[in-house]
Amino acid sequence: MKDLTRGNEAKQIILFSLPMLLGNVFQQLYNMVDSVVVGNYVGKRALAAVGQSFPVLFVAISLMIGFGMATNILIAQNYGARKMDRVRAIVDTTVTVTVVFAGAVAVLGIAGARYILLLIGTPADILPDAVLYLRIIFAGALPLFGFNAISAIQRGLGDSKTPLYALVVSTLVNIALDLAFVVGFRWGVAGVGVATVIAQTVSLVWTLVYLARKSPEMRIHAVHLKLERGIFSEIFRIGLPSGIQQSLVGAGLMALTSVVNRFGSNAAAAFAAAGKLDSFAVMPAINIGMAISTFTGQNLGAGRRDRVSRGLRYGTMIALSITLSISSCLYFLGDRLVGLFTQDAEVIRIGFEYLRIVSIAYFIQTTMFTFLGVIRGAGDVLMPMLNTLLAMWAVRIPLAFILSPRMGTAGIWWSIDAGFVVGAVASISYYFFGNWGRRDLTGGGRGLPPAGESAAENPADGP
């Protein structure tokens, strides 16, 4: 467990976010390996089929992502306030909800996979493989949801290293199994699906073991799990808006995918390949935003609002510097990178077009994520939901439908940039003019100080 309420803010955010960033690099690597292997050893249609599953899965896990954010916020603030009995109750309730929800998603997802893919207009030539892959992934809902839940618990406790170790190991397992099942056994898309589920199971087991070793008081005991109504209500109240926000993102991705699918399997394959590369560019913003959320939660819980603004400033500068390097690489070398997934010239052309247009707005997206990190860490999750509703559904999706008939796939990519701009303006405006820092999530007590005040001034904590 790591105390983020003392010490140099920039150093703490770097050290806390770096393991998460590296962990997501490995997570994206093993997701990318799935696409590289099927694209090169099975074909571009298999690449497109695997790519169809991402927005569907994102919608399916959205509520659990929201509950994970709520868990992270609640644990961070209560740990900052040193209320360990309440932290233990939050852990037990989170795990109980995760197990129940994962079972329900697995059953519904397996039964409804085909209908969902038909709904988003999956091209007929890739539909059978897409259905098969999606059903296999849904069958592994418990390890997928479980790993995300335990990782949220560990981040709230200040431990961002254990999920990294788990992802390193599971990435190596996934790569080895991809090659064995697809290249060796020739299982096609089924091979990468089975490999992914096994790798996710490994990551879940790893995090559970390390949680028990590093934080024995937080050990998960299956027979002792319970759902505490008050805690569940708090998680639900905080997590539902975040879950809805993530659902809006996932549904937006499904809507964008349906627009892309109108241009055929080449566009679908390009969208899948470029989307994997795109994930690397947004990772610094996402992970530093998550680090800022935990940092904000602990410091508000400890009454140290003075540290929050400094943490945001340093975190944004760090995230922007990393994003600039990655986006430059994708802008100038995107065609070669898309070529890692397929040798089809048309797929490469469309994928490179995507990276050229979207990468110019990455720095805007990065700024949005860091400001939203503070707002979420303060327990204000309604505004991020409204932000997504505005950027995704009032701007991006309508523009994609309007511009694509006139500009082709480029119109879809420009609509993504427009959404980033609107979302960034809204989040920055709310940070400066909104009432985001007045929530007390520690079960009662002193409450939070007004802006500009701190309950425990300590000049030594500055940079």
DSSP string spanning 267-311?
A: HHHHHHHHHHHHHHHHHHHHHHHHHHHHHHHHHHHTT-HHHHHHH
For the record, the structure tokens of 307 come out as 């540290």
427, part of any domain: yes
For residue 97, the tally of other CB atoms under 10 A from its CB is: 23
Helix/strand/coil for 440: coil
What pLDDT was estimated at residue 458?
A: 37
Interaxial angle between packed helices 362-377 and 265-301, expressed in degrees from 0 to 180 and rounded to the nearest 10: 40
For the record, the structure tokens of 415 come out as 């609509």
What pLDDT was estimated at residue 302?
A: 79
- Phi first, then psi: give them for residue 434, nearest 5 degrees: -90, 170
386, part of any domain: yes
Check residue 463 and report its DSSP letter.
-
Domain membership of residue 265 as a residue range: 9-454
Distance (Å, whole) CA 331 – CA 343: 19
Distance (Å, whole) CA 181 – CA 199: 13
Cα(first)–Cα(last) distance of the chain, in Å?
Answer: 22
Query: Could you state, in chain order, the average pLDDT of each consecutive group of 10 residues for the chain (463 residues)?
Result: 80 86 76 88 93 88 83 85 87 92 95 95 94 96 94 86 86 92 94 95 92 84 82 87 82 93 95 90 86 87 84 93 92 95 95 96 95 89 87 95 96 97 96 76 48 37 36
For residue 462, the tally of other CB atoms under 10 A from its CB is: 11
For the record, the structure tokens of 395 come out as 């701007």
460, part of any domain: no
Please say whether the beta carbons of 305 and 451 come within 8 A: yes
Distance (Å, whole) CA 336 – CA 83: 52
Please say whether the beta carbons of 79 and 49 come within 8 A: no
Task: State whether the Cα torsion 131-136-139-142 is positive or negative.
Answer: negative
What pLDDT was estimated at residue 360?
A: 95
What pLDDT was estimated at residue 441?
A: 56
4, part of any domain: no
What pLDDT was estimated at residue 48?
A: 94
310, part of any domain: yes
Please say whether the beta carbons of 410 and 419 come within 8 A: no
Interaxial angle between packed helices 229-261 and 84-119, expressed in degrees from 0 to 180 and rounded to the nearest 10: 30
152, part of any domain: yes
For the record, the structure tokens of 325 come out as 């390097």
133, part of any domain: yes
Query: How far apart, in Å, are the Cα atoms of 222 and each of 24, 208, 219, 312, 377?
Result: 28, 12, 10, 38, 29
**Overall domain count for the chain:** 1
Closest CA to 66 of 219, 207, 250: 250
Residue type, 344: D
Distance (Å, whole) CA 226 – CA 213: 22
For residue 317, the tally of other CB atoms under 10 A from its CB is: 12
What pLDDT was estimated at residue 336?
A: 95
462, part of any domain: no
For residue 184, the tally of other CB atoms under 10 A from its CB is: 11
